[in-house]
Structure 1
Amino acid sequence: MREKCIRLSGALLVLSLLIVSPLPAHEFIVKPVTMTPHPGQQLPFSVISAHVFMVSEEMEPAEQVVMALNRDGKTTPLTLVKNPTLMTLDGSMELADEGTYLLCGHRKGVIWTNTTQGWKQASKKGLSNVISSGKYEKFCKTLINVGHPDDGYKKTVGHALEIVPLDDPAALSPGDEGRFQVLFKGAPLSSAVYASYDGFSSHPNTWAYMTETDENGVAHIKLHHEGCWMIRVENKIKQATKDYDVHVMRAVLVFNVK
């Protein structure tokens, strides 16, 4: 009987090592200090890494983050500075004219490997007792309307994973339903879609809305509250390399509802 118990305990130990929770990745959010700027304003913004939306909990590695401002097809690189107090990366942009601006962020892929000793920020190559390994890459696109908006909201910026509004968010009011298309490398993607707004909850990973895309990659989201909204999607590419097992991409779209 004792031998059976020992064998069972050993089997449970092995099973516990194999059944591992996924890496609790923070959401990559780019948020300006105001969503209603005026022409000619120098607008500060912050790169946020959060489980609670939208309060930063850790600072993204500055060398892995690229920011740019897109307006009428013209892309302007933006500089970031570390803010250890708020755990953000901060920058600013000049909004010369009226219209719709796209504030674009890319957190380059970072490899995390889960071993029997815990998570390590490293390739699985050369590590012992590897359980799983993933490359985690994140994108964010924030719509900023200065004065009268234009059709810039529906333009793509070339992110590998991207959310594109099919309805102008500036024309949507609380209670309206908006259509948003999910694209992976420019093609429609079937995906679960999560949405929330700033201040909805103080609990981690708590969403105000969840839906799925249709066969054209289009999600219908009811925007039932005013404020700064975010929509998030994820795509896992299970093509193992010598460095990792899966490539996990996340994309966020930020916009204002008033």
Structure 2
Amino acid sequence: MKMMKCVLALCAVATLSYGHFPWIHSDGFSLSPNSNVRMYVGWGHGFPFGAFMDSSQVDNLQITGPNGAVSATFENSHRFAADDRVREEGVYFLSAERPASYYSQTTEGGQRGSKEDLADEFHVRSCTYTHSFMKALVNVGQPQYGYDIPVGHDFEVIPQKNPLHLSQGDVLPVVVLLHGEPVAAEINATYAGYSRVSTDDDFVYETSTDETGTATIPLSSHGVWLLEVVLEQGYADTDVCDIERFRSVLTFEVPGN
């Protein structure tokens, strides 16, 4: 069932919380041609504020635009630059992955590692293996196409409209893919500043995709938005871990009036 938190008081207890998540934040989401762009990988749950992920915590950093995908590098430990790769008009995706990792709940609290890793020291209650993918949609000029092209992540949320051409009060349709195929998944949405207003909740809206992997997100505010999409399934070997979790995070901007 779709739930708008600002309307239904029970939403806070109706949805699972997945703790910290990564995202890509850009200095600008709507740029003129020949502009430079700087960005960082955030980490936390109070978007857009939180910690930074440094270069040692990020894999497969790339910029995908009208001329295809190119690798990107950090200009320092926290920030990376697109340089001359966003000078042409078009839609650009700044994307990265966080290396997949095990995390276990034990009788002595949370520990990094699988059941096998921790068996000699801890009694493991549950284990989760998490894949995290993130991307930001940046418009250069006024592009009409390119917003719905996948960057190739194993788990990915694909916008079906360009947020540049939407406004507060519109809806953004999205499709969620696992290994290139539509899949049912949970979607959490928020915008920059919401978590500062609502002290209890990080997300303004929660929904799930239908059998075609499709969902719609009501855009209740202008500004920078974040969609966190989560899918959980059983881990292949329960002697190693219990749950395999896929997470995809998309950031984009809805223009003001």
Q: CA–CA distance in 1 between the matches of 2:105 and 2:25? A: 31
Displacement of 1:98 = 1.0
Task: Write out per-residue CA displacement over residues 79-113 of structure 1, whole angstroms, 9 at most, x where no aligned residue.
Answer: 12665xxxxx3111031211110111111201112
After superposition, the C-alpha distances for 1:193-213 in whole angstroms (9 at most, x for unaligned) are: 111111112237521112222
Q: Which has the higher contact order (CA 8 A, sep 6+)?
A: 2
Unaligned runs of 5+ in 1: 1-21, 84-88
- 1:99 is aligned to 90
Amino acid at match of 1:91: F
Q: Counterpart of 2:177?
A: 183
| Partners of 2:57 and 2:98 within 8 A in 1 | no
Whole-angstrom CA distance in 1 between matches of 2:53 and 2:69? 25
AA matched with 2:116: K
User: Normalising by the residue count of structure 1, what TM-score does the alignment of the two structures yield?
Assistant: 0.83
1:233 corresponds in structure 2 to: 229
Q: Which of 1 and 2 has greater Rg?
A: 1
2:115 counterpart letter in structure 1:
K
Which consecutive unaligned segments of at least 5 residues does structure 2 have? 1-15
| 1:57 Cα deviation after fit | 3.0
In structure 1, what residue type is equivalent to 2:228?
R
**1:237/1:109 Cα in 2 relative to 1: closer, same or farther (>3 Å)?**
same
Q: Is the 8 A contact 2:43 2:51 kept in 1?
A: yes
- For the Cα contact (< 8 Å) 2:27–2:38, is it kept in 1? yes
For residues 52-131 of structure 1, the aligned pairs below 5 Å read 52-57=46-51, 59=53, 62-72=56-66, 74-80=68-74, 89-94=78-83, 95-126=86-117, 127=119, 128-131=122-125
Match status 1:207 vs 2:198: no
Contact 2:225 2:254 in 1 (8 A): yes
Task: Tell me, in whole angstroms, the C-alpha distance in 2 between the residues paired with 1:64 and 1:101.
Answer: 19
For 1:132 and 1:220, locate their aligned partners in 2 and report how far apart those are by CA, in whole Å: 33
Give the AA of the match of 1:124.
K
Among 146, 157, 163, the residue aligned to 1:152: 146
Number of equivalences: 232
Deviations 1:30-53 (A, max 9, x none): 011111222222211010002101
Return the alpha-carbon distance in structure 1 between the equivalents of residues 148 and 57 of structure 2: 29
Is the partner of 2:51 in helix, strand or coil? coil
SS in 1 for 2:32: coil
Normalising by the residue count of structure 2, what TM-score does the alignment of the two structures yield? 0.83
Superposition RMSD in Å = 2.1
